[in-house]
Structures are given as structure tokens and as C-alpha cells.
Amino acid sequence: MIHVQDSVLQQKIEQLYAYNQGHIFRFWEELNDTEKETLLVQINKIDVSILKELLALLSGNEKEISGFFKLEPTDVMTLKNRINRDNAVLPLGEEALRQGEVAAFLVAGGQGSRLGFDGPKGIFPVTPVKQKSLFQLFAEKLQYLNKKYDTHIPWYIMTSETNHETTVRFFRKMNYFGLSENEIRFFKQDMLPAFDKAGKIIMEEKHRLFFSPNGHGGSLQALYKSGSLADMEARGVKHLFYFQVDNVLVNLCDPFFLGYHIAAQAQMSTKVIRKTGPEEKMGVICKINGQDGVVEYSDLSEEETFARTEKDELKYWAGNTAIHMMDVKFLSTRAQRGAKLPYHKAEKNISCINASGEKIKTDKKKGIKFETFIFDLLLDVRKSFTLEADRGKEFSAVKNKAGSDSPATAKQDLLRNYAALVTGAGLPLSVNAEGLPEFDFEISPLFAQSVDDIKEKREQIPAITKGTYLGD
């Protein structure tokens, strides 16, 4: 066993040996002083109590939702039912925005490995003409709301060790996209080691363990530990709009959603969309033993996946968009009490070193990563509310390099929405059967986000042709 002067660290090292992790120090004698220091810093970051839990999970069976639990569809305020209710709740949402009671919360700590972009996903260019990044798109949506409701919506952004510096640098370089610097708060989530099938922590180099972000569920503790929840309370923020980095159509701080959430006195609300079909890879919200929760598509049995109602509709149709409204007090209480979300394990290709310390290719080794999911918090709320949104207007995710949920589909969805605003306001634009214009053009969220905005500005709008950009 290796020995270090720091007694706390020494104790940790001993615990690691006790948990069969002595291989971490296999190359110790070969390391130079800087490398030794790097390894010790990483070891210091390991929470041994969590390690014990993860190792137990590795050897046991993760509870499968399907089969263990009784699932039923949950109550959803559907698009059809919203027609008669939207206008009643809107003033509640708008008033909360005007009063500064709302903050936006973006989780952007993920690695975006499916997209294969070298850098934080938020800096990926998505708009058709100006090639604006996802971050810029969100910032402009916030600015629009700030202006419309004469407010300053604080924006909390969770990053991780893997992308924090690049993210913060990008915002600085872009001058915070016109938002005020003190309205934006960045903080990091925690990281977790990954394991091989024998329960050994994976080493990516002789002096470096493989760590990855602990899942979007890590946001609960990260919000608390970073002081962000306290900051919200100090600013008088009561409602937190949670969203993910990949949805180009996100309806940020949607006043209708907010209104429903407030009217329902919910602690956590969820926006859902109708799944395109039973096999769409999307988690569904439903009742799990009587309590609202999300079941991952891979956890639904075949029977549940394809189940239909008496009206021959898909039984579990309510796809989770990962857009939530959360009550800040509820989050504070849970986080202060050290509430923990369950770990889920996933098999991944992880680059690592072999027994002689040589790097081996990523596709050669299957590792196990652990993550927590924010939607598991639903299982802990007293009251939750679920609202259906129009997929075409509010959801288009950039997940993959190509094919479905890719930059190409996101661009088409943006174009379709721009075109709908223009034609909805009665301006000339020819579109095909899919609602797509014949050429690329772009509308900044600062310029218009509704047909009414376009109507108001119609005098300023030139004939729309290839490359037209309507911006402020």
C-alpha cells in the first residue's frame, strides 16, 4: 500500500484498498511528482460512502421499474382541454414573471457524446442563417421575456468538470449575449468514477481515473451546494424553469406552463408531448404505484410499450420533454435534508488503459457509468402537474450527429416555425406540404416569437428571400 503524509488522505487510500481498488496505485512507482499529485487530487474527490453504494449496485440488480411496479397512465392537461383553460391561468404566469419570481435553470453538464461535437453542446451552432449557438438562442429568448415583462430573469447554468471552463469562456467572449453578467450563475455538478464489470474503477491513464458527470439528477445537490438555491431565495425567486441544452424549440419560462403550475400548487410540473409511436425512444410519465414518475422507454415491458386504450389510443403516450417547473422551497428543503436520487447504471464504451498501462480503444471495453435522473424527484413530490405541449412548436432535440434528433432535423423544425409565424401573420411565403419554406431564413427570438409579434412589426419586415434575417 502506498503511504502519504496527509492522514485523511491516507485513510481514504486505505479504504480504497479495502474496497478492492488497489489497482489504482499499480503504476505509482513510475509516476513523476506531478502525476502523483494529480492522482491524489482525484482520489480526494472520491466520496467513499458513495463508492460503497455504487459497488453494491454493481453486484446487485438495479430495481427494474417494469414488472416490479404497477403502472397506470396519469392525468394530463391535454392540448384539447387546454383550449378552455389556457387564458384562465396565463395571468398567474405572467404576474409571476413580472414580479421577478421566476428563474431559468439549464442543465448543460452532459458530455453530448452522441453528437460527437468537440466542446460543450451549448456552443454548437444551430440556426439556419446566423449559425447561432444553442446558448445564444436561449439567451435571446430570455432577453425577449425580460423586455416583455419588464424583469430580469436570473439564469442558472449547471456545467461539469468536463465543460465548465469552455462554457464560461464562451459566454464571456460573447459578452453574455447582451444579458447582464450578474444575472447568470454557473456552477459545476459532481463527477463519479466508472467501473469495469469486475467492480474496479476504470483508469484512463496511469495517473488518472475515469470520471464522468453524475447525471442531470446531480443538479439537486449542485444547486444547493453552489449556493444557487440560497441565491434564488435572496432574489425572491419562487419558481424554477428547468430545461436541457438540446431543445432548440424550448418555450423558455412559458407563462402558460408557469400559470398551470402555480394554479395547481404543484411542487414539480412536467411538460409532455405525444410520442410519435410506441417505439419512440422517449421516457413516459405515468403513475408508478399511484405516484407520478417517469419510466424510461427501455424499462417499459413490450406489453406496456404497445398497450392501447379502449379508444385505441396509445396508453403510455405522454413523452417526457425534460422540461419542468419546480418549486424553489421544495427543492431547498429536499436538498438540505440531503435527499438522494437513485443511481441508474449504464453500460458504455470507455477509453481506458490495460494491465500494462497502455491505452486501449474505446470500443474494446464496456464500462459501467452511474447517473441520477432529475425526473426521479417526481416520486418524492406531494403534488405534480403534467401539461401537454405541441411538439412541433416546442420540442426538437439535438442529440445525434445525423438522422432523427440531429442538427438537420432541428434546423428544419426551426424553419418550419419561422415560416408558420410569417404565414400566420398573413405575409407572403410559399411553403411545401410539410410547412417548410423553399430557402433558409431566420427570425431572432428577440425579434418575434409569436404571430402577434410579426403582425406588430409587419411594416419593418422586408420580402422574405433566401438568407433573410429578422433580428433586433
Q: Which residues bind ligand UTP (CB under 6 A)?
A: 107-114, 158, 160, 189, 213-216, 218, 244-246, 371, 399
User: What Å distances lie between residue 170 and 104, 124, 247, 403, CA to CA?
Assistant: 19, 11, 19, 28
189 or 384: CB nearest ligand UTP: 189
206 or 271: CB nearest ligand UTP: 271
DSSP state of 274: E
The distance of closest approach from Cβ of residue 163 to ligand UTP in the complex, given in angstroms and rounded to an integer, is 8
The distance of closest approach from Cβ of residue 371 to ligand UTP in the complex, given in angstroms and rounded to an integer, is 6
DSSP state of 24: G
Angle at 225 between CA 223 and CA 228, to 5 degrees: 40
Which residues are CB-contacts of 231 (< 8 A; sequence separation ≥ 6)?
Answer: 154, 185
117 or 306: CB nearest ligand UTP: 117
Query: What is the dihedral sign for C-alpha 22, 23, 24, 26?
Result: positive
Say how far apart CA 283 and CA 441 lie, in whole Å: 33
Please report how many Cα atoms fall inside a 13 Å half-sphere around the Cα of residue 301, on the Cβ side. Answer: 11
Other beta carbons within 10 angstroms of residue 303's beta carbon come to 9
The distance of closest approach from Cβ of residue 297 to ligand UTP in the complex, given in angstroms and rounded to an integer, is 13
42 or 160: CB nearest ligand UTP: 160
207 or 391: CB nearest ligand UTP: 391
- Per-residue burial over 321-355, b = 16 or more CB atoms within 10 Å of its CB, e = otherwise: bbbbbbbbebbbebbeeeeebebbeeeeebbbbee
189 or 386: CB nearest ligand UTP: 189
The distance of closest approach from Cβ of residue 213 to ligand UTP in the complex, given in angstroms and rounded to an integer, is 3
Tell me the residue number closest to ligand UTP, measured at CB. Answer: 110
The distance of closest approach from Cβ of residue 107 to ligand UTP in the complex, given in angstroms and rounded to an integer, is 4
**Contact predicate 288/65, CB 8 Å:** yes
285 or 425: CB nearest ligand UTP: 285
160 or 267: CB nearest ligand UTP: 160
112 or 293: CB nearest ligand UTP: 112
The distance of closest approach from Cβ of residue 43 to ligand UTP in the complex, given in angstroms and rounded to an integer, is 21
Count of H-run helices and E-run strands, the chain: 16, 20
Residue 282 grid cell: 422517449
Amino acid at position 38, single letter:
T
The distance of closest approach from Cβ of residue 240 to ligand UTP in the complex, given in angstroms and rounded to an integer, is 15
**Contact predicate 331/220, CB 8 Å:** yes
Burial of 257 (0-12, 13-18, 19+ CB in 10 A): buried
The distance of closest approach from Cβ of residue 120 to ligand UTP in the complex, given in angstroms and rounded to an integer, is 8
Which residues are CB-contacts of 371 (< 8 A; sequence separation ≥ 6)?
Answer: 192, 213, 214, 215, 216, 217, 218, 343, 344, 346
The distance of closest approach from Cβ of residue 398 to ligand UTP in the complex, given in angstroms and rounded to an integer, is 9
113 or 265: CB nearest ligand UTP: 113
- Tell me, letter by letter, the H, E, C secondary structure of 53-114: HHHHHHHCCCCCHHHHECEECCCCECHHHHCCCHHHHHHHHHHHHHCCCEEEEEECCCCCCC
The distance of closest approach from Cβ of residue 395 to ligand UTP in the complex, given in angstroms and rounded to an integer, is 13
**Contact predicate 223/379, CB 8 Å:** no
141 or 206: CB nearest ligand UTP: 141
The distance of closest approach from Cβ of residue 236 to ligand UTP in the complex, given in angstroms and rounded to an integer, is 26
111 or 412: CB nearest ligand UTP: 111
The distance of closest approach from Cβ of residue 399 to ligand UTP in the complex, given in angstroms and rounded to an integer, is 6
Helix (H, G, I), strand (E, B) or coil at 325: strand
DSSP state of 466: T
Alpha carbon distance, N-terminus to C-terminus of the chain: 64
228-235 and 328-336 helices, crossing angle to 10° = 140
β-strand partners of 273? 319
- Minimal CA–CA distance to 232: which of 419, 112, 101, 370? 101
